[in-house]
Amino acid sequence: MSDTLRLMCILAHPDDESLGTGGILAHYAAQGITTFLVTATRGERGWPGDAATYPGHRELGRIREVELRAAAEVLGLHEVVLLDYQDGELDRANAAEVIGQLVAHIRRVRPNVVVTFDPNGVYGHPDHIAIAQFATAAIVAAADPSYAAPRAFASHRVAKLYYLAPSHKLLAAYQEAFGDLVMSIDGIERRAAGWDTWAITTQIDTLAHWQQVWQAVSCHQTQLPMYQKLRELSDEHHRHLWGTQTFYRAFSLVNSGRTIERDLFEGLHRPADANEVATAQKVIH
């Protein structure tokens, strides 16, 4: 692995990478940062169409993997890994097994920054909550040399962990486009809450990539019936949806404070690119 900076997103379903982190994945890939994605399930239960046309778990999982890989190509991802857990059952998976798999990938890839869902799963989705918990635990375990992962890689200490932290304003725009983000779990209604502005630590300008993100979202054809309104939105609304991404810095070994970050890699050394090196050499000579 080269000494370039590396970003890893650890998410639950195909389309999470586009809807949730598409902006930063496109933004950082364009900067030459190597981007990686770990997706826990194939989303094989995510069928918004007519029940009579449902292709079945296995076939839908295959289709959604194809859609995921197409979206990943649009976003410039270096690698996509699928863990093959069951959609809708991630919170009941064997915790030690999931964490062990994540530790192996973290140690193999050696990311500087990891991004996952927030502890509330944005709108209470159990799979989102589960992957946030597993990813957080895996980051701690990956740094522990005594932790035995399924595959033998040297321990690795992630420098920064971020949780998705959509603002109230952004969630309002999402719900205008997608409808109410709500689900009933154990007889209790869970709704998208959004993050207060004061709690958001990091805001990334991804406006230059909004069309790229929308193209990636559009790769998820099986899911678009649920998001039909997206096709009808104005460019201005699309820019609002995909033009800014906000996060909560769960931990950082390199910086702190309440000043809003504008870069997930703030505090980390960015290797000089070829043009910078050439310029420096000219100055030296």
276 pLDDT more than 90: no
CB atoms within 10 A of CB 236: 9
In the structure encoding, which two tokens stand for residue 263, read together? 């870069």
Higher pLDDT pick, 92 / 227: 92
DSSP annotation of 32 reads T
**CATH code that applies to domain 6-284:** 3.40.50.10320
pLDDT in tens, 201-219: 999 999 999 999 999 999 9
Is residue 219 within 8 Å of 74, Cβ to Cβ? yes
Predicted TM-score (pTM) of this structure: 0.92
pLDDT in tens, 100-147: 999 999 999 999 999 999 999 999 999 999 999 999 999 999 999 999
Residue in this structure with the two tokens 């595959």, named with its chain if needed: 151
H helices then E strands: how many in the chain?
11, 9
Closest CA to 108 of 153, 160, 161, 157: 153
At 153, is the pLDDT very low, low, confident or very high (cuts 50, 70, 90)? very high
At 275, is the pLDDT very low, low, confident or very high (cuts 50, 70, 90)? very low
Higher pLDDT pick, 82 / 172: 82
CA-to-CA distance for 67 and 48, rounded, in angstroms?
15
In the structure encoding, which two tokens stand for residue 68, read together? 């995921």
Domain ranges of the chain: 6-284
CB atoms within 10 A of CB 58: 10
pLDDT in tens, 10-51: 999 999 999 999 999 999 999 999 999 999 999 999 888 777
Q: Annotate 80-95 with three-state secondary structure.
A: EEEEEECCCCHHHCCH
CA-to-CA distance for 224 and 232, rounded, in angstroms?
12
